[in-house]
Structure 1
Amino acid sequence: MVTVEKNLKEMEIEYVKRMVEEGGIYIDQLFFHDPDATMIEICNCDNLPVTSLAGEPVRPCNA
């Protein structure tokens, strides 16, 4: 997140930074618009727990 924020500042791209909390888990978010005015969200979603869908085995994320 620090690198993304630094790059946005260097490119002079306006963004909004937020932190959300749910159930004791904190997620940092950055929102900005691309040149086509599409809103982009960047977050540290790796903080979120992995939950399985009904009957599906939980597999680790290999991102």
Structure 2
Amino acid sequence: MNKSKFVVKLSWYGELHIFYTNSTTDLKALSNAISQLAKRLKVSRNYVKNEFDGRKDNFKVERR
């Protein structure tokens, strides 16, 4: 399967974070961006993942 370039925008408590990633699916791109955000914030991946579980409209994944 070919990888595509994605732009993932995450709103972390009102603060916008933009990540660029190569992934095979939009779900994997979101997962990759969540991992990158956790590293940036120096918190666990699961802590960040719980914020982006689909209950809020706080992320957007775009294929480029």
TM-score by length of 2: 0.30
With a CA cutoff of 8 Å and minimum separation of 6, indicate the structure with the bigger relative contact order: 2
Structure with the higher helix share, 1 or 2: 2
TM-score by length of 1: 0.30
Q: In terms of Rg, which structure is larger? A: 1
